[in-house]
Amino acid sequence: MTFLPRKIAVYLARSILLATIAAWAILLTFDAIMALVAELRDVGKESYTLADAVMYTLLTIPRRLYVEFPTVAVIGTLLGLGGLATRSELTAMRAVGVSKLQMGVAVLLPLLVLTVAMMINIETIGPFGEQQAQGLANLKSRQLMMARYSGLWAREGNLFFNARGNSAPHHENGQTWIELQDVRLYQFDPQGRLLSLARAERAEHRKDGWTLFGVERTYFEARSVRVVNIARERWQTELDDSTLEATLARPRYLTSSELRSNIEYLRRNQLDALKFESAYWARWFYPFNVIVLCLATLPFAFGSLRSGGFGKRLFIGILIGLGALLVQQMFVNLADVYRFDVRLAFLLPPLMIWALCWGWLAKKI
Protein backbone atom coordinates (compact mmCIF):
# COMPACT_ATOMS: atom_id res chain seq x y z
CA MET A 1 0.00 0.00 0.00
CA THR A 2 1.39 3.39 -1.04
CA PHE A 3 1.34 6.21 1.47
CA LEU A 4 -1.42 8.78 1.27
CA PRO A 5 -0.21 12.26 0.24
CA ARG A 6 0.37 14.32 3.36
CA LYS A 7 -2.01 17.15 2.44
CA ILE A 8 -4.87 14.74 1.76
CA ALA A 9 -4.17 12.81 4.99
CA VAL A 10 -4.14 16.01 7.06
CA TYR A 11 -7.30 17.26 5.36
CA LEU A 12 -9.17 14.00 6.06
CA ALA A 13 -7.94 13.87 9.65
CA ARG A 14 -8.94 17.50 10.27
CA SER A 15 -12.41 16.93 8.81
CA ILE A 16 -13.00 13.90 11.03
CA LEU A 17 -11.56 15.64 14.10
CA LEU A 18 -13.74 18.74 13.72
CA ALA A 19 -16.89 16.68 13.11
CA THR A 20 -16.12 14.47 16.12
CA ILE A 21 -15.49 17.41 18.45
CA ALA A 22 -18.69 19.13 17.27
CA ALA A 23 -20.77 15.99 17.88
CA TRP A 24 -19.01 15.49 21.22
CA ALA A 25 -19.76 19.04 22.36
CA ILE A 26 -23.46 18.71 21.52
CA LEU A 27 -23.86 15.32 23.20
CA LEU A 28 -21.84 16.30 26.27
CA THR A 29 -23.75 19.54 26.71
CA PHE A 30 -27.07 17.74 26.60
CA ASP A 31 -25.83 15.05 29.01
CA ALA A 32 -24.39 17.60 31.45
CA ILE A 33 -27.58 19.67 31.45
CA MET A 34 -29.67 16.58 32.22
CA ALA A 35 -27.27 15.63 35.04
CA LEU A 36 -27.39 19.16 36.48
CA VAL A 37 -31.20 19.18 36.39
CA ALA A 38 -31.18 15.90 38.34
CA GLU A 39 -28.80 17.39 40.93
CA LEU A 40 -30.89 20.54 41.33
CA ARG A 41 -33.61 18.41 42.89
CA ASP A 42 -31.29 17.79 45.85
CA VAL A 43 -30.25 21.40 46.41
CA GLY A 44 -31.21 22.37 49.95
CA LYS A 45 -30.73 18.92 51.47
CA GLU A 46 -28.45 19.29 54.49
CA SER A 47 -25.66 21.64 53.27
CA TYR A 48 -25.92 20.79 49.56
CA THR A 49 -25.98 24.07 47.60
CA LEU A 50 -26.40 25.18 43.99
CA ALA A 51 -22.64 25.67 43.73
CA ASP A 52 -22.13 22.07 44.92
CA ALA A 53 -24.55 20.79 42.27
CA VAL A 54 -22.72 22.69 39.52
CA MET A 55 -19.32 21.51 40.75
CA TYR A 56 -20.58 17.93 41.01
CA THR A 57 -21.65 18.04 37.36
CA LEU A 58 -18.32 19.54 36.26
CA LEU A 59 -16.32 16.90 38.15
CA THR A 60 -18.18 14.08 36.38
CA ILE A 61 -17.44 15.48 32.90
CA PRO A 62 -14.17 13.49 32.43
CA ARG A 63 -16.06 10.23 33.03
CA ARG A 64 -18.87 11.33 30.72
CA LEU A 65 -16.36 12.15 27.98
CA TYR A 66 -14.95 8.64 28.24
CA VAL A 67 -18.35 6.93 28.17
CA GLU A 68 -19.66 8.98 25.24
CA PHE A 69 -16.58 8.77 23.02
CA PRO A 70 -17.30 5.45 21.20
CA THR A 71 -20.70 6.77 20.09
CA VAL A 72 -19.25 10.18 19.26
CA ALA A 73 -16.45 8.59 17.21
CA VAL A 74 -18.98 6.75 15.06
CA ILE A 75 -21.10 9.87 14.55
CA GLY A 76 -18.04 12.04 13.87
CA THR A 77 -16.69 9.57 11.30
CA LEU A 78 -19.97 9.52 9.42
CA LEU A 79 -20.50 13.28 9.63
CA GLY A 80 -16.94 14.07 8.56
CA LEU A 81 -16.92 11.72 5.58
CA GLY A 82 -20.51 12.66 4.80
CA GLY A 83 -19.56 16.31 4.47
CA LEU A 84 -16.74 15.39 2.11
CA ALA A 85 -19.03 13.12 0.11
CA THR A 86 -21.74 15.74 -0.37
CA ARG A 87 -19.11 18.09 -1.82
CA SER A 88 -17.82 15.27 -4.07
CA GLU A 89 -14.39 15.50 -2.41
CA LEU A 90 -14.27 11.76 -1.77
CA THR A 91 -14.97 11.17 -5.45
CA ALA A 92 -12.14 13.56 -6.38
CA MET A 93 -9.76 11.70 -4.05
CA ARG A 94 -10.72 8.40 -5.64
CA ALA A 95 -10.16 9.92 -9.08
CA VAL A 96 -6.53 10.78 -8.25
CA GLY A 97 -5.85 7.25 -7.07
CA VAL A 98 -6.53 7.39 -3.32
CA SER A 99 -7.93 4.03 -2.18
CA LYS A 100 -10.65 3.49 0.39
CA LEU A 101 -8.09 1.74 2.58
CA GLN A 102 -5.84 4.79 2.56
CA MET A 103 -8.76 7.06 3.42
CA GLY A 104 -9.81 4.67 6.19
CA VAL A 105 -6.32 4.80 7.74
CA ALA A 106 -6.32 8.61 7.59
CA VAL A 107 -9.75 8.66 9.26
CA LEU A 108 -8.60 6.42 12.12
CA LEU A 109 -5.49 8.42 13.02
CA PRO A 110 -7.24 11.33 14.83
CA LEU A 111 -9.63 8.87 16.47
CA LEU A 112 -6.68 6.84 17.78
CA VAL A 113 -5.20 10.00 19.31
CA LEU A 114 -8.51 10.79 21.03
CA THR A 115 -8.84 7.16 22.16
CA VAL A 116 -5.43 7.27 23.85
CA ALA A 117 -6.40 10.56 25.50
CA MET A 118 -9.60 8.97 26.86
CA MET A 119 -7.68 5.95 28.19
CA ILE A 120 -5.33 8.28 30.05
CA ASN A 121 -8.32 10.27 31.25
CA ILE A 122 -10.09 7.25 32.80
CA GLU A 123 -6.90 6.25 34.62
CA THR A 124 -6.19 9.68 36.08
CA ILE A 125 -8.68 12.56 35.94
CA GLY A 126 -11.81 10.40 35.62
CA PRO A 127 -11.58 8.42 38.89
CA PHE A 128 -10.30 11.47 40.78
CA GLY A 129 -13.22 13.56 39.53
CA GLU A 130 -15.74 10.87 40.39
CA GLN A 131 -14.42 10.52 43.93
CA GLN A 132 -14.41 14.27 44.46
CA ALA A 133 -17.95 14.44 43.08
CA GLN A 134 -19.02 11.70 45.47
CA GLY A 135 -17.61 13.75 48.32
CA LEU A 136 -19.83 16.66 47.28
CA ALA A 137 -22.85 14.37 46.89
CA ASN A 138 -22.32 13.14 50.43
CA LEU A 139 -23.07 16.65 51.67
CA LYS A 140 -26.70 15.64 51.22
CA SER A 141 -26.37 13.24 54.15
CA ARG A 142 -22.98 14.05 55.78
CA GLN A 143 -22.44 10.36 56.35
CA LEU A 144 -20.00 8.98 53.81
CA MET A 145 -17.20 10.08 51.55
CA MET A 146 -14.52 8.50 49.39
CA ALA A 147 -10.86 9.54 49.47
CA ARG A 148 -8.49 8.45 46.73
CA TYR A 149 -5.46 7.52 48.80
CA SER A 150 -6.86 7.16 52.31
CA GLY A 151 -9.77 4.86 51.50
CA LEU A 152 -13.36 5.05 52.65
CA TRP A 153 -14.41 7.55 55.31
CA ALA A 154 -17.66 7.80 57.27
CA ARG A 155 -18.84 9.87 60.21
CA GLU A 156 -21.39 9.31 62.96
CA GLY A 157 -21.46 12.12 65.47
CA ASN A 158 -17.99 12.39 67.02
CA LEU A 159 -16.91 9.01 65.66
CA PHE A 160 -14.91 8.88 62.41
CA PHE A 161 -14.61 5.62 60.50
CA ASN A 162 -11.87 4.81 57.95
CA ALA A 163 -11.30 1.66 55.88
CA ARG A 164 -7.96 1.75 54.05
CA GLY A 165 -7.64 -1.75 52.61
CA ASN A 166 -9.58 -3.66 49.94
CA SER A 167 -13.30 -3.29 50.50
CA ALA A 168 -16.19 -4.81 48.57
CA PRO A 169 -19.75 -6.09 48.84
CA HIS A 170 -19.85 -9.88 49.09
CA HIS A 171 -22.47 -12.28 47.78
CA GLU A 172 -22.41 -15.97 48.74
CA ASN A 173 -25.04 -18.69 49.28
CA GLY A 174 -27.86 -16.19 48.88
CA GLN A 175 -26.40 -13.86 51.53
CA THR A 176 -25.05 -10.36 50.99
CA TRP A 177 -22.73 -8.51 53.33
CA ILE A 178 -20.08 -5.79 53.40
CA GLU A 179 -16.47 -6.58 54.34
CA LEU A 180 -13.91 -3.83 54.92
CA GLN A 181 -10.17 -4.32 55.46
CA ASP A 182 -7.73 -2.33 57.64
CA VAL A 183 -10.35 -0.39 59.60
CA ARG A 184 -9.78 2.52 61.99
CA LEU A 185 -12.25 4.18 64.38
CA TYR A 186 -11.44 7.63 65.77
CA GLN A 187 -13.51 8.76 68.77
CA PHE A 188 -13.38 12.48 69.69
CA ASP A 189 -14.93 14.43 72.53
CA PRO A 190 -17.09 17.55 71.87
CA GLN A 191 -13.98 19.77 72.16
CA GLY A 192 -12.23 17.82 69.36
CA ARG A 193 -9.77 15.89 71.56
CA LEU A 194 -9.01 12.30 70.54
CA LEU A 195 -10.41 9.92 73.16
CA SER A 196 -9.66 6.55 71.56
CA LEU A 197 -8.31 4.93 68.43
CA ALA A 198 -9.36 1.43 67.38
CA ARG A 199 -7.62 -0.56 64.63
CA ALA A 200 -9.29 -3.67 63.25
CA GLU A 201 -7.98 -6.14 60.68
CA ARG A 202 -11.42 -6.25 59.10
CA ALA A 203 -15.04 -5.31 59.68
CA GLU A 204 -18.14 -7.16 58.51
CA HIS A 205 -21.69 -5.91 58.22
CA ARG A 206 -24.38 -8.58 58.09
CA LYS A 207 -28.09 -8.53 58.90
CA ASP A 208 -27.43 -8.49 62.64
CA GLY A 209 -25.05 -5.49 62.45
CA TRP A 210 -21.33 -4.74 62.41
CA THR A 211 -18.57 -7.00 63.79
CA LEU A 212 -14.89 -6.01 64.15
CA PHE A 213 -12.15 -8.67 64.00
CA GLY A 214 -8.59 -8.40 65.35
CA VAL A 215 -9.17 -5.17 67.25
CA GLU A 216 -6.46 -3.12 68.98
CA ARG A 217 -8.15 -0.30 70.90
CA THR A 218 -6.05 2.53 72.35
CA TYR A 219 -7.54 4.83 75.02
CA PHE A 220 -5.95 8.26 75.54
CA GLU A 221 -6.53 9.10 79.20
CA ALA A 222 -5.52 12.18 81.16
CA ARG A 223 -2.08 10.90 82.23
CA SER A 224 -1.69 7.60 80.45
CA VAL A 225 -2.40 5.55 77.35
CA ARG A 226 -4.15 2.21 77.69
CA VAL A 227 -4.17 -0.48 74.97
CA VAL A 228 -6.71 -3.30 74.82
CA ASN A 229 -6.65 -6.20 72.31
CA ILE A 230 -9.92 -7.87 71.39
CA ALA A 231 -10.26 -10.81 68.98
CA ARG A 232 -13.87 -10.04 68.05
CA GLU A 233 -16.10 -7.12 68.99
CA ARG A 234 -19.62 -5.99 68.15
CA TRP A 235 -19.84 -2.41 66.92
CA GLN A 236 -23.07 -0.58 67.69
CA THR A 237 -23.65 2.05 65.02
CA GLU A 238 -26.34 3.38 62.74
CA LEU A 239 -24.00 3.53 59.74
CA ASP A 240 -26.06 2.42 56.75
CA ASP A 241 -24.53 -0.49 54.83
CA SER A 242 -26.65 0.23 51.75
CA THR A 243 -24.76 3.52 51.33
CA LEU A 244 -21.45 1.74 51.69
CA GLU A 245 -22.43 -0.95 49.19
CA ALA A 246 -23.60 1.59 46.62
CA THR A 247 -20.24 3.36 46.86
CA LEU A 248 -18.04 0.28 46.92
CA ALA A 249 -19.83 -1.32 43.97
CA ARG A 250 -18.93 1.51 41.56
CA PRO A 251 -15.79 0.48 39.65
CA ARG A 252 -15.79 3.84 37.83
CA TYR A 253 -14.12 5.27 40.96
CA LEU A 254 -11.11 3.00 40.43
CA THR A 255 -8.12 2.86 38.10
CA SER A 256 -7.21 -0.34 36.25
CA SER A 257 -4.56 -1.26 38.82
CA GLU A 258 -7.06 -0.74 41.65
CA LEU A 259 -9.64 -2.84 39.80
CA ARG A 260 -7.05 -5.58 39.37
CA SER A 261 -6.21 -5.45 43.07
CA ASN A 262 -9.88 -5.84 43.99
CA ILE A 263 -10.28 -8.76 41.57
CA GLU A 264 -7.31 -10.60 43.07
CA TYR A 265 -8.61 -9.99 46.59
CA LEU A 266 -12.09 -11.31 45.76
CA ARG A 267 -10.66 -14.35 43.98
CA ARG A 268 -8.39 -15.18 46.92
CA ASN A 269 -11.45 -15.23 49.12
CA GLN A 270 -13.49 -17.22 46.56
CA LEU A 271 -15.97 -14.36 46.10
CA ASP A 272 -17.77 -13.04 43.05
CA ALA A 273 -15.51 -10.59 41.18
CA LEU A 274 -17.51 -10.31 37.95
CA LYS A 275 -18.54 -6.67 38.45
CA PHE A 276 -14.91 -5.62 38.79
CA GLU A 277 -13.76 -7.98 36.00
CA SER A 278 -16.29 -6.43 33.61
CA ALA A 279 -15.06 -2.92 34.42
CA TYR A 280 -11.41 -4.04 34.13
CA TRP A 281 -11.74 -5.70 30.73
CA ALA A 282 -13.96 -2.89 29.46
CA ARG A 283 -10.92 -0.61 29.87
CA TRP A 284 -8.69 -2.91 27.80
CA PHE A 285 -11.25 -3.49 25.04
CA TYR A 286 -12.14 0.21 24.83
CA PRO A 287 -9.74 1.10 21.95
CA PHE A 288 -10.69 -2.11 20.12
CA ASN A 289 -14.37 -1.18 20.29
CA VAL A 290 -13.78 2.35 19.02
CA ILE A 291 -11.65 1.24 16.06
CA VAL A 292 -13.90 -1.65 15.01
CA LEU A 293 -17.12 0.38 15.26
CA CYS A 294 -15.64 3.21 13.20
CA LEU A 295 -14.40 0.75 10.58
CA ALA A 296 -17.83 -0.91 10.55
CA THR A 297 -19.55 2.35 9.63
CA LEU A 298 -17.19 3.27 6.77
CA PRO A 299 -19.33 1.51 4.11
CA PHE A 300 -22.17 3.91 4.92
CA ALA A 301 -19.91 6.86 4.08
CA PHE A 302 -18.17 5.34 1.07
CA GLY A 303 -21.56 4.32 -0.30
CA SER A 304 -22.02 7.97 -1.25
CA LEU A 305 -19.44 7.47 -3.96
CA ARG A 306 -21.90 5.25 -5.85
CA SER A 307 -25.30 6.74 -5.14
CA GLY A 308 -27.25 9.40 -3.24
CA GLY A 309 -29.22 9.09 -0.07
CA PHE A 310 -26.39 9.74 2.37
CA GLY A 311 -28.84 10.96 5.01
CA LYS A 312 -30.43 7.53 5.13
CA ARG A 313 -27.04 5.83 5.35
CA LEU A 314 -25.97 8.24 8.08
CA PHE A 315 -29.06 7.40 10.12
CA ILE A 316 -28.53 3.64 9.65
CA GLY A 317 -24.84 3.96 10.48
CA ILE A 318 -25.55 5.77 13.74
CA LEU A 319 -28.11 3.11 14.66
CA ILE A 320 -25.49 0.43 13.96
CA GLY A 321 -22.96 2.17 16.21
CA LEU A 322 -25.40 2.64 19.07
CA GLY A 323 -26.85 -0.84 18.57
CA ALA A 324 -23.38 -2.38 18.87
CA LEU A 325 -22.91 -0.83 22.31
CA LEU A 326 -26.33 -2.05 23.45
CA VAL A 327 -25.64 -5.56 22.13
CA GLN A 328 -22.30 -5.57 23.94
CA GLN A 329 -23.99 -4.59 27.23
CA MET A 330 -26.49 -7.40 26.67
CA PHE A 331 -23.60 -9.86 26.21
CA VAL A 332 -21.96 -8.59 29.41
CA ASN A 333 -25.22 -9.19 31.29
CA LEU A 334 -25.45 -12.68 29.76
CA ALA A 335 -21.89 -13.37 30.94
CA ASP A 336 -23.04 -12.47 34.44
CA VAL A 337 -26.02 -14.84 34.23
CA TYR A 338 -24.43 -17.80 32.42
CA ARG A 339 -20.92 -17.34 33.86
CA PHE A 340 -18.91 -17.38 30.64
CA ASP A 341 -15.72 -15.40 30.06
CA VAL A 342 -16.62 -11.70 30.04
CA ARG A 343 -13.86 -11.05 27.49
CA LEU A 344 -15.99 -12.79 24.88
CA ALA A 345 -18.77 -10.32 25.66
CA PHE A 346 -16.45 -7.44 24.74
CA LEU A 347 -14.91 -9.18 21.71
CA LEU A 348 -17.81 -10.77 19.83
CA PRO A 349 -20.39 -7.94 19.41
CA PRO A 350 -18.01 -5.48 17.64
CA LEU A 351 -16.76 -8.25 15.35
CA MET A 352 -20.32 -9.31 14.55
CA ILE A 353 -21.29 -5.72 13.71
CA TRP A 354 -18.16 -5.29 11.58
CA ALA A 355 -18.85 -8.49 9.64
CA LEU A 356 -22.49 -7.44 9.13
CA CYS A 357 -21.56 -3.98 7.83
CA TRP A 358 -18.76 -5.08 5.51
CA GLY A 359 -20.58 -8.20 4.40
CA TRP A 360 -24.29 -7.97 3.77
CA LEU A 361 -25.03 -4.27 4.42
CA ALA A 362 -22.12 -2.95 2.35
CA LYS A 363 -23.60 -4.64 -0.70
CA LYS A 364 -27.05 -3.14 -0.10
CA ILE A 365 -26.14 0.52 0.15
Q: What is the pLDDT of residues 266-296, one digit of tens each?
A: 677 666 778 888 889 999 999 998 988 888 8
In the Cβ-directed half-sphere of 123, how many Cα atoms lie within 13 Å? 14
What confidence tens digit (pLDDT) does each residue in 197-246 have? 999 998 887 777 788 999 999 999 888 899 999 999 888 776 655 555 54
Domain that holds residue 322: 6-124+274-364
User: Does one domain contain both 101 and 164?
Assistant: no
Q: pTM for the whole thing? A: 0.73
For the chain, how many structural domains are there in total?
A: 2
Residue after which a domain boundary falls, among 250, 265, 285: 250
**162-179: per-residue pLDDT in tens?**
887 656 566 666 666 777
In a domain, 268, yes or no: no
Which tops the pLDDT comparison, 73 or 296? 73
Report the pLDDT value the prediction gives residue 64, as an integer from 0 to 100.
94
**Residue 116 and residue 174 in one domain:** no
- Are 102 and 25 contained in the same domain? yes
pLDDT for res 138: 67
Do residues 170 and 212 share a domain? yes
pLDDT band for 305, please (50, 70, 90 cuts).
very low
Residue 256 is assigned to a structural domain of this protein = no
- As to burial, measured by CB atoms within 10 angstroms (0-12 exposed, 13-18 middle, 19+ buried), residue 93 is buried
CATH code of 149's domain: 2.60.450
- Asked if residue 351 and residue 243 are part of one domain, the reply reads no
Residues β-bridged to residue 7: none
